[in-house]
Structures are given as C-alpha cells and as structure tokens.
Amino acid sequence: MSLPGRKRSPVLFRRNDDNPILTAADWPYPANSVFNAGATRLQDGTTLLLCRVEDFRGLSHLTAARSRDGVSAWQIDHQPTLAPHPDHPEEEWGVEDPRITYLPEEGRYAVLYTAYCHNGPGVALALTEDFVTFERRGIIFPPEDKDAALFPRRFGDHWAAIHRPVTSTSANMNLSFSANLYHFGNTRTILEARRGAWWDANKVGLSAPPIETEEGWLVIYHGVKRTGSGVLYRNGLALFDLNHPERLIRRSDPWCFGPRDLSERVGDVDNVVFPCGTTLQDDGDTLHVYYGQADTSIGLATASVRQLLGWLRENSTMTPDPVRGEAQPAD
Ligand code: BMA
C-alpha cells in the first residue's frame, strides 16, 4: 500500500551497505564527530569530501577526505584543511556545513560554508584550486543565514547563490545575485516553508548544490519538522528553471529521504539526514549523495537523476505561475 500523498515509487536513495562510510574513529586525529560533508569530483575523477569535524570543545572545522571510487579507501588530511582563522572573527565559533561548486569560468572551486560567531551563523565564501590553499572572501550573507551554494555559471552577467536567511517570521530559501562574488543582492524568495503539519513546515533550506539537468536545476532541500521529541530533518525535491533559477517549476509534496537507519535515528542530534553534497558518476545519471547522519557520521546513498526527476513529476501538485514564475497549488 502506498502512503497517502506519495505515489508508489522505487527506492530513490539506496543506502550503501557499509554505512556509515566515515566516522570519527577513522580520523587521523581526535574528533568528536564527522558529518555534513560537501562533495565534488576533482579533474582526475577523484571524489573529495570536505567534512565537518567537531572537536571536543564543540567547535567545527573542515577536513578533506579523498577516494578514487567515492566509496572506500579514503585518504584523510592529517590536520584541519580549513580551520577557523584568527583574522576572521566571524569564524570564532567554527566553520560548518560546506557546499562546493566548481566554477569553470574561475578555474576554481567555490566553498560556501557557515561561519559561526557571537552574532550568529552567517555564510562565508572561500575559493580554492586544490583544497590546500584558500582565498577567503569572508561573510557574503550576514547572520542569521546558512545552507548556501553557488550555481556553477553566471545568468547573464551575474552569479547566483541560494541561501536561507532566518527572520523573526520566516526561514525560507532565497536567491541572490552577484557581479563579482563579493557583493550579493537582488534577493528574492524562491521556496517557502509550508505551514502546520507538513514535513517542511516553518523551516526549509538547501541540502546539496543545484544539479543541472535537461528539465531544470534539480535541488535536494531539507525540511525541519518540530515534534514532541525534537526536530526531524527530512529531504524533498524541487526543480527550478535552467535560465531563470528564481522560477520554481515544481516541488515535491512528500519527502523522499528521511532518517531510517539506526545511525540516522540516534546520534548527537537524533533523526537527522543532512546531505551537503552530491557527485555525478561517469554514466551521467548516477548520483552519490553524501549526508550527515544524526550529526555524528557520514553516510552514502546512490540515486538516479532520471528517477528523481520522474518521481518529482509524479509527486508534485504544484504548477508554475506563468506571471510570477513561482509555484502555486494546482486546482
Ligand atoms: C542545522 C545545521 C546542521 C545540523 C542540523 C541538525 O541547523 O546546523 O549543521 O546538521 O541543524 O542538528
């Protein structure tokens, strides 16, 4: 029997049998937890994860792990790869949750990450060619803001980034544009949290960077549901126009990836699956989805882009409004 609101569908996210693929026990130096990793494939095909590592003070830094197949035999840097820097007071309480986008025009990777300080969490940008040295550009979205990633190319003259500011009344996904990767503006809301009992009520945020497909930019996003025993982090899908990324084409009603296994149900923060990166495999369809498990370890699931798009078509009751370009409930 299929769940109400969710049409019968194949398993979309296939968890690796050896999950978790990385834990603090694998680390070459003492660490409390290892989770929420950004992901990319380097020019030679190597998979690089930039892992959030929480130390025993509770502060986070980022450390690179590299693997030929993106599944096993990880080579982990022996010291933090991107640690909070004393010249950057916005990082005084740590750096968290990186999202990586390769920018062909720059010949560099852009890492957008949460920089945490007494003003709250904001979004910072660093550029790198090799994940050894970084050009830090500091805060691009001031607190409170997080869950950000750049698109890999400009739209017209402008770069675009998704981010999630929090105000006293909302926590929605926004899009901002920039001519120079220093200053961002022309901000608009592109995906709103739903209300009431919905799985994505009150708070939504980008999970992994947008994936370019023939049908549009495919986005995995998370919704946060408050319950009597805490919060539940689950993920759904949305599709945005290829040339106008502010235009939502469709959004899934049900979630498609939520906490299930023990390592996702129980950890430092229970009931969290939190993808921050995907990599596309050589067949052009298979995605490796890297996700934090209960803020404690890193899991891997595989998915098919074609299947995700098909599932989203069947599980959305939203149709785009031709004037505003935003999704409205279908009749
Ligand atoms: C979010 C972020 C993530 C974390 C999640 C669950 O607000 O801080 O880093 O995985 O909460 O604790």
Structure token digits, residue 298: 């890193």
Q: Does 145 reside within a domain?
A: yes
- Residue 56's CB is within 10 A of a number of other CB atoms, namely 9
pLDDT of residue 6: 57
> Is 9 domain-assigned?
no
Cβ 36 under 6 angstroms from ligand 1: yes
Judge whether 257 and 234 are in contact, CB under 8 Å: yes
Take residue 299 and report the two structure tokens written for it: 């899991």
Is residue 289 in a domain? yes
Q: If you measure from the C-alpha of residue 60 to the centroid of ligand 1, how many angstroms do you get, rounded to a whole number?
A: 12
Separation between Cα atoms, residue 241 and residue 247, nearest integer Å? 5
Q: Whose CA is nearest to atom 2 of ligand 1?
A: 97
Residue 5 lies in a domain: no
**What is the span of the domain harbouring residue 169?**
29-316
Instruction: Compute the distance between CA of residue 121 and CA of residue 109 in angstroms, rounded to an integer.
Output: 22
User: Structurally, how many domains does the chain consist of?
Assistant: 1
Angle at 154 between CA 153 and CA 156, to 5 degrees: 145
Ligand 1 atom with minimal separation from the 147 CA? 2
The CATH code of the domain that includes 148 is 2.115.10.20
- Cβ pair 254, 6 in contact under 8 A: yes
6 found inside a domain:
no
Q: How far away, in angstroms, is 144 Cα from ligand 1 center?
A: 14
35 CA → ligand 1 middle, Å? 10
Query: Using the 8-state DSSP alphabet, how is residue 193 labeled?
Result: -
**Cβ neighbours of residue 143 closer than 8 Å, sequence gap 6 or more:** 117, 119, 120, 121, 122
pLDDT for residue 243 = 98
With respect to residue 93, please indicate whether it lies within any of the assigned structural domains: yes
Residues 205-215 as b or e (16 or more Cβ within 10 Å = b): bbbbbbbeeeb
Nearest alpha carbon to residue 84 among 105, 107, 53: 53
In a domain, 95, yes or no: yes
pLDDT digit string (tens) for the chain, length 331 residues:
445 555 555 699 999 999 999 999 999 999 999 999 999 999 999 999 999 999 999 999 999 999 999 999 999 999 999 999 999 999 999 999 999 999 999 999 999 999 999 999 999 999 999 999 999 999 999 999 999 999 999 999 999 999 999 999 999 999 999 999 999 999 999 999 999 999 999 999 999 999 999 999 999 999 999 999 999 999 999 999 999 999 999 999 999 999 999 999 999 999 999 999 999 999 999 999 999 999 999 999 999 999 999 999 999 986 554 444 454 444 3
Q: Which residue has the tokens 């599980």?
A: 315
- 113, 266, 274, 293: which to mutate for ligand 1, most atoms within 8 A of CB? 274
* Burial of residue 283 (number of CB atoms within 10 Å: 0-12, 13-18, 19+): exposed
Residue 16 lies in a domain: no
Which of 32, 33, 36 maximizes ligand 1 atoms within 8 Å of its Cβ, making it the mutation to test the pocket? 36
Distance between CA atoms of residues 286 and 281, nearest Å: 5
Task: Give 177's DSSP letter.
Answer: E
Nearest alpha carbon, ligand 1 atom 12: 269
